[in-house]
Structure 1
Amino acid sequence: MKKVLVTGASGYLGGRLCHALLRQGYSVTAFVRSTSDLSCLPPPASAAATGGGSLELAYGDVTDYRSLLTACSGCHVIFHSAALVEPWLPDPSRFFKVNVGGLKNVLRAYKETETIEKIIYSSSFFALGSTDGYVADESQIHHGKFFCTEYEKSKAVADMIALEAASERVPIVAVYPGVVYGPGKLTAGNSVARLIIERFNGRLPGYIGNGTDRFSFSHVDDVVEGHIAALNNGQPGERYLLTGENASFVDVFDMAAALTGTARPRFKIPLSIIEVYGWISVLFSRIAGKLPLISPPTVCVLRHQWAYSCEKAKTELGYNPRGLNEGLAEVLPWLKSLGLIKY
């Protein structure tokens, strides 16, 4: 069985990817920082005890090349899922340091490690750019004319680096999840769950905007399975959208209301008002040191559409994403069981 390295293993996606790989018997090296919250990972001893694969922890940072190179020792596959996922940061240079610099270090480590056979790179739908008025596929390249967030810009630049590496015959497979949601850590990467919490606790009393936004929603476990399918069936140099149902956040709130038997929001909050709230949130964030849920870049994202087709992944990888209603039917009871929402 191949030995795999998972960067970002303590994160929302990375943690669930580690669990799935262990269930399939892989030997997993989880690359984490010394300060990481490891609650989403099983203790290394328990992974083998439950009849799954083996788990070991490797401490370091994707921005620290030497620690990454050491972690790659003896590995056959790298799942590069480490990323800084936030709509806004007071120091935007961190996005490029982690999201661009981290990928560069992974590619450098591949060249110095003779055992690496494949790299599965977790990109983002943001790397392909907005899709105002149409549904995009893997052929889309970010136009680079404008970026809603520094995160989007960093992922678009990293995508160009991945494409260049593929042209140089590096065995890299790029996968592009949509808006990932589902059980797991309530990080910025799990924005759907966080917005549902705000909605059910009365802090978000109306719809966000007028419902013209369209996003491609991906359940986290479907994305995980898509990553493993990319390892088994993905062709080096190819790109695969691991997206799902295209819908608006108005649809999300309406589905949540129907599933819980609660009232739908009665009004729509104009994006101009949400933008003002975002500026206020950023101001308080600079004072309190806590990142805001909504910021002006978030509103910029909501002014565009981000709809994609995952037909290629379905055909070539066997990717089979669940519908948004089915996914929310799992998320809502989970949030209720944690005491985060009531209905």
Structure 2
Amino acid sequence: MVNTAEIDEFKADLAQEARRLGFATCGVTASGEDPVRAKRLHEWLDEGRHGEMDWMEARAHHRRSPQGLWPEAQRVIALGMSYAPATDPLAERDGRGRISVYAQGSDYHDTVKKALKALARWLVAEAARRGLGDVGVKVFVDTAPVMEKPLGQAAGLGWQGKHTNLVSRDHGSWLFLGAIYTTLELPLDEPGHDRCGSCSACQLACPTAAFPAPYQLDARRCISYLTIEHKGPVPKEFRKALGNRIYGCDDCLAVCPWNKFASTAHTMRAFLPRAELAAPRLADLLALNDAGFRRLFSGSPIKRIGRDRFVRNCLYAAGNSGDAALLPQVRDLMADPDPVVAEAARWALDALSA
């Protein structure tokens, strides 16, 4: 029979090991279904706000609760790694593309999953050593049907802000989230409490008005969605608003007042920006063929969208740049084999010629 003191000590040691592995924050929540969370998910899907992200709907039954994905799960260990930037993500630089902070370093999927696996191994081994029994675990980061943000709030890591992302009192909006599902019944943490108050900075900062109301996101209008998940031509109504954003968007995150408490001391070395991705020249990016794209973005999350979608984004940025020096490259790309790239080049030519 495990007593309370033993399991509390184990949980404290688990949190310490998580910090050693690079996690900035750690909490525990229950694995059963939260009716409110499930209702919000289905309302969002029913309204079509997930856009082309069909996997959100296809595996909604797994997203409803951790036990919907793994019935044996008793607890969720929610974890966050900081990627707080050292510079202003919104600083404008002429002739340069803007890549979201999270994608300027190594692929967070690899870094976070490696640490999650190490922590899960520690948990299983330590539980056995301390006589807590055979413990089952499963680790997840982003690619599985797991609701990391609401689970993070339930585990006390922070709260889902008005921009729908998790906000931490200590780390602001700059957290990569992961989860370990486990059969071990660890003590629960208090959920995070909403501290947005009357602030509407993130809502006002959105270039495409992607928030129909506080705490609601219409992905179909979101620049991150449009530049990463959306496969065809970006609707013309949003192209000017893209500005020089060529992969993702940090605007709603970067203006959050809670970021003043975020420290780069917790940022993992793997997430530090690569020099060639911090402020890349549009002229260099427009010249990329498939092989060059794969070389440049090796080990980067950007690699998964492919050369064509990325160059499409760069052409919109070129059209918004006002830089006539880019006209020869834009004209050349009008003959690109990919019809979406060719159409983006025609739009960029018209924008630069106006």
TM over 0.5: no
Q: TM class by shorter-chain length? A: under 0.3
Q: 1 or 2 for the larger relative contact order (CA 8 Å, sep ≥6)? A: 2
- The structure with the largest alpha-carbon Rg is 2
Per the normalisation by structure 2, the TM-score is: 0.23
Structure richer in helix, relative to its length: 2
Per the normalisation by structure 1, the TM-score is: 0.24
